[in-house]
Chain A
C-alpha cells in the first residue's frame, strides 16, 4: 500500500503528490476533479496522439478527396480549377469506367451470395452433422476441416492471386493438367483468364476460395453460440436436420450473416488485389476490369488526380448504398436489431 503511494508520487508529479495524501476517496471521486498534471498529460497523450495520426492520415485525405473530385487537378501543376461536377459527368459517359462499374456490380451480386451460401452449408455440416440421438453434437473430427478451411484467409491476397494465376496457366497449370488427365482434351491449352467467357468466373472462384473458410469459421462460432436447448426442443418437436438448419440456425445467426454480407460486398466493390494479380490489364475486353483498377491507373499512371478522386467518391457512395441496402433488406425481412460491425 505504502509502496504504491510512494511510486505514484514519482509517476505523477508535484500536483498529484499534493492531492494524494489528503484525498477522502469515496466523496472526492464523485465530484469534479481539479485538473492535475497527471490527468491533463493522460488525456493529451491518450487521446491526442492517436487522434492526430488518425486525422492526418485517414480523415483528412478522405475529406480532401471530395474537394479534389471537383477540380481538374493533374497533381503536379500548381493550378487547380474548380470545374464542378464535370468529372462525374465525364465518368458516367466513359464506356470503360461504366464497364468497370458493371463488373463491380456483377461481383457485388454474386460474390457475397455464393460465398455465404457455401460457407453456411459447410458450417452446418460441421455443427449438426453428428448423431440425431442423445446430446446435440457436431461432426466427429471436424476441427481438422475448420483448421484447413481457414488456411486461405492467412495467405496474402497477392500470393493467392499469383498462385491461382499459375494454376490457371494454359500450358503448365494445375487445372488444365487435371482436366486433360481426366480425358478432356479440349482444355489442353485453354486460357481460363484469357478468354472473355471464363475470365470473370475464374476470378470469382479465386476470391470465393479465399473467403469461404473464414466465413465458415465465423458461422460455426455463431451456431455454437446458440443454446443447445433450442436444438433439442426442435428435435423433440420432430424437426429434421434440414428443417432445423432453415428454421432455427439461420434466423438465429442472422446478424452474423448480415455482417458477412456487408464485408463481402465491400470487398467485391474493391477487389483490386485479386484483379491486379490475375489480370493486371483488365482482362480480355476489359471483362475483369474493376473501378479500383481504373482509379489507380487514372491517378498514378495518367496523373489525372481530379478525375481519379471522383472515381473514389463514386466507389465510396456505392459502398454506402450497398451497406444501406443490406441493412434495409434485413430490416424489411424481419431482422429487428442493428448488427455491430
Chain B
C-alpha cells in the first residue's frame, strides 16, 4: 500500500528536479534577460558585420548609403589593401615577430617561474618582487629610455629588436601565472625523477614542462592576444623599421586622411580581425577556461 502511494510521488519529484516548472515570474525574467543580452550581442556584432560588408563596396557606394549591400561582391579592395597598402607584408612581419616572441617568452618564462617556484635561494624573493614591479609600472614610463637602449645596441627599427622587447614585457605576466602553476605541482614527482637519476635539465623538460601544459596553453593564448594587439611598442621603437600589422593599419588609416580608399581600409581592418576571430572561435572553450583560472590564482 505504502509503496503504491510513494511510487507516483517519487516519480513526480524526480521529474520535477530534472525539468523544473517555469513560473510566470521566471518567464518574465528569462524574457527580459534574453532581450537585454540579445541587444548587447547586436551592438557587438553589427559593427563587425557592417565593416565586413563595407569591405566589398567602393568608396562611392559607402557614401551613398551605409546599409546598402555592395552592388557586386568584389575583392579589389582586398587586393589593393594586401599589396598596395602593404597589409600583406605587415601581416607576415606580425606573424614572425609575435610567433618568435611567443615561443621565446614561453620557454624563458616557464624556466624562470620554475626556478622561482621550486627553489629557495638567496634573492629569490627579490627577483619575484622585481617581476611584480614590471607589471605595476605603465609601459609608457619606459618608452623614452628604451628607444635609446635600442639605438645604442643597434636594434632600433629592426624586427629582432622588437622580438626582444616583446619578450621582456610579456615576461612578468608569464612568470606570475606559471609561478603559481609550478607551485601547485606535487613535489613527489621531482623527487621521483631525481631518484631515477634525472638531472635538473631533464627533470624540467621531460617531467615538469609536460605536466604544466594546461597552464602553458592559457598563458600562451593571453600572450598571443596581447602581443598581436600591441601598438605602442612598435610605434615607439620600430617607427622606421619594417611595420607590424597594428602599426601598418594605423599608418594606412592616418595617411588616408579624408582622401579616398575607404573600401581598402575596411578590407584591411577585416584582414586584421578575421584570423584572430577564427582562432578565438576554435579555442573559445580553452580561453574562457583560462579567464577563470587567471583570476582564481
Q: A interface vs B, CB < 8 Å? A: 1, 4-5, 7-8, 11-12, 16, 20, 23, 25, 29, 36, 38-39, 41-43, 45-47, 49-51, 53-62, 64-65, 68, 75, 121-122, 125-126, 129-135, 139-140, 142, 144-159, 162-167, 171-174, 176-177, 181, 209, 212-214, 217-218, 221-222, 224-225, 241, 256, 259, 266, 269-270, 272-273, 276-277, 280, 292, 295-296, 299-300, 305, 308-309, 312-313, 315-316, 319-320, 323, 340-341
Are the CB atoms of B295 and A309 closer together than 8 Å? no
Q: Please, which residues of chain B bring their CB within 8 A of the CB of A4?
A: 196-198
A57 touches B165 (CB 8 A): yes
B11 within 8 A of A: no
Tell whether, in the assembled complex, residue B137 and residue A319 are in contact, meaning their CB atoms are under 8 Å apart: yes
**Other CB < 8 Å A-B pairs besides A53-B167, A68-B144, A134-B20, 11 of them?**
A50-B109, A50-B171, A51-B112, A58-B142, A61-B144, A126-B37, A140-B30, A154-B280, A155-B277, A221-B296, A222-B292
Q: A54-B168, A162-B249, A299-B143 are in contact. Are A8 and B20 (CB under 8 A)?
A: no
B17 at the A interface (CB under 8 A): yes
Q: Are A313 and B144 in contact (CB under 8 A)?
A: no
Cβ contact within 8 Å between B202 and A8: yes
Q: Which of B47, B116, B145 contacts A64 (CB 8 A)?
A: B145
Determine if A145 and B37 form an interchain contact, defined as CB atoms under 8 angstroms apart: yes
- CB distance B138 to A270 under 8 Å? yes
10 tightest A-B contacts by CB? A134-B20, A221-B292, A57-B168, A177-B66, A129-B33, A64-B145, A133-B20, A61-B145, A61-B142, A42-B200
Check if B138 sits within 8 Å of A221, measured CB to CB.
no
Closest to A181 in B: B67
Report whether B134 and A59 are in contact in the complex, using a CB–CB cutoff of 8 Å: yes
Q: In the complex, what distance in Å separates the CA atom of A292 from the CA atom of B116?
A: 34
For B112, the closest partner residue in chain A by CB is A50
Residues of B close to A61: CB separation below 8 A: 141-146, 149
Most buried by B among A159, A221, A266: A159
With both beta carbons as reference points, the residue of chain B lying nearest to A7 in the complex is identified as B202
The A-contacting residues of B in range 53-96, CB under 8 angstroms, are: 54, 62-63, 65-67
Shortest beta-carbon distance from B149 to chain A in Å:
6
Q: Determine, out of B2-10, B38-46, B210-218, the stretch whose residues face the partner at the interface.
A: B38-46
B144 touching A150 by the CB < 8 A rule?
no
A29→B67 contact, CB < 8 A? no
Are A273 and B236 touching (Cβ within 8 A)?
no
Q: Give the residues in chain A near B144, CB-CB below 8 Å.
A: 61, 65, 68, 299, 305, 308-309, 312
Interface membership of B103, Cβ < 8 A: no
Complex Cα distance, B266 from A177, in Å, reads 17
Given that A58-B168, A125-B37 are known contacts, is A65 also in contact with B141, CB under 8 Å in the complex? Answer: yes
The complex places the Cα of A129 from the Cα of B136 at a distance, in Å, of: 37
Closest to B49 in A: A174
Whether B16 pairs with A134 at a CB distance below 8 angstroms is yes
Taking a contact as CB atoms under 8 Å apart, the answer to whether A221 and B291 are in contact is yes
Given contacts A133-B26, A174-B46, whether A319 and B288 have CB atoms under 8 Å apart is no
**Which chain B residues (120-158) contact chain A, with CB distance < 8 Å?**
127, 130-131, 133-149
Taking a contact as CB atoms under 8 Å apart, the answer to whether A163 and B269 are in contact is yes
Contacts of A300 in B (CB 8 A): 147, 236, 239
Contact A42 B201 (CB under 8 A): yes
CB atoms of A135 and B17 under 8 A apart: yes
**Residues from chain B with Cβ under 8 Å of A164 in the complex:** 47
B231 touches A54 (CB 8 A): no
Complex Cα gap A38–B195 (Å): 16
Q: Which of B26, B141, B279 gathers most chain A CB within 10 Å? A: B141
21 A-B pairs, CB-CB below 8 angstroms?
Answer: A11-B201, A12-B199, A16-B199, A25-B195, A36-B199, A46-B114, A50-B108, A53-B108, A57-B165, A129-B30, A134-B17, A134-B18, A135-B20, A145-B37, A155-B277, A156-B228, A162-B250, A162-B253, A166-B54, A166-B265, A221-B292
